[in-house]
Amino acid sequence: MTTAVQEKLLSPLTLGALELRHRLVMAPLTRLRADEDGVPTDLQVEHYAQRASLGMIITEGTWPVREGRTWVGQPGIETQAHIDGWRKVTDAVHEAGGTIVLQIMHGGRISHPLLSGTGRVVAPSAIAAPGEIRTPEGKAEHPVPHALENQEIPGIVEAFVQGAQHARAAGFDGVQIHGANGYLLHQFTSPTSNQREDDYGGSPQNRARLSVEVTRAVAEAIGADRTSIRLSPQHDIQGALETDDADALTTYTALAEGLAPLGLAFVDVLSADLAGALVQTLRRVAGAPLVGNSGFGVVTTREEALRLAAEGTVDAVAVGRAAIANPDLFRRWEEDLGENETRPESFYVGGARGYTDYPAWQG
């Protein structure tokens, strides 16, 4: 790649109140290293601080209330202990010169009563997710969730608001609302997981409503210039399917229309086709900077990241596995150095192996 192509990815970027030294972003990555109560550990402090040279870090999905918990080892942002634990992370990242945003994630039906701690899991409709989930007692079938009643919806909105306020108290530069990948907000957006007949179901506009309401409430609570949302249109994962192209375009256009007046810091989209009409329409209508992540089933390479930035397909590029394996990824991509080999078998196992033991470039 030529220097001219590299310049865009390497250039600074302002996203609302967030100042990025360059446009290479760490995507949110489930790693499951918190303690049994969801409090971040010293391992997480080290892991995130190691990666502070990236333009911005977006953390792993973090539950705002226990009922929104999805995984054993997943961190929370509900209690003072969570705030204090995350404060150690943000202090370390800031001391190293980095910018860090907390992703707030309510898992909805991607959970189990043994994880949620409330004897139930919740969703837009009483439709179980496909497959199994790992609980403290081993794998189990996804249970049929409780269909949220209309009067319970404000409590979901408030959970995200509280999580955002706690994130700011913990020192995060901003927050990202998880509206993607088959979790609660995406369960409302998808016509296969949302069979409601009230104001939150049926039409594309109604199915987009909760994501807009949550984002608006969070933006009002902590500032739109520190608020973002992650979306994964037609990613078709965990039973939140969007197979009808016309319906998906209408739904995400409606969602973007709801976001447009807010003045968000950025919208983060996971899609294998970031240049396609669906993503670019969402970008244009929302009127917010686009952080794009093309990887999930495939790895985002250095060459692809440089191209996406140089062509203006996105304003910044979020990468996952390369950021896992290379704590100094920005330097490696800036200087076109070699990369460590990613070890997928250690992604979710806990401990330092495959988490904090990847070496920086020697030389």
| Predicted confidence (pLDDT) at residue 4 exceeds the cutoff of 90 | no
Identify the bridge partners of residue 139 per DSSP, sorted by sequence position. Answer: 134
Across the chain, where does the E strand assignment appear?
Answer: 13-15, 18-20, 24-26, 56-62, 100-104, 122-123, 132-135, 138-141, 146-147, 174-178, 227-231, 266-270, 290-293, 316-319
Lowest-confidence range among 68-72, 114-118, 285-289, 323-327?
A: 114-118
pLDDT band at 363 (very low <50, low <70, confident <90, very high): confident
Identify the bridge partners of residue 290 per DSSP, sorted by sequence position. Answer: 267
| Predicted confidence (pLDDT) at residue 66 exceeds the cutoff of 80 | yes
Cβ contact 41:73 at 8 Å = no
Per-residue pLDDT, averaged over 277-292, amounts to 98
Average pLDDT, rounded, for the chain: 96
Q: Tell me which residues are annotated as active site.
A: 183
Residue 203: DSSP 8-state: S
Residue 240: DSSP 8-state: B
pLDDT of residue 5: 64
pLDDT band at 299 (very low <50, low <70, confident <90, very high): confident
pLDDT in tens, 149-194: 999 999 999 999 999 999 999 999 999 999 999 999 999 999 999 9
pLDDT in tens, 194-243: 999 999 999 999 999 999 999 999 999 999 999 999 999 999 999 999 99
pLDDT band at 1 (very low <50, low <70, confident <90, very high): very low
Per-residue pLDDT, averaged over 82-98, amounts to 98
CA-based nearest residue to 35, from 20, 25, 45, 27: 45
Cβ contact 190:129 at 8 Å = no
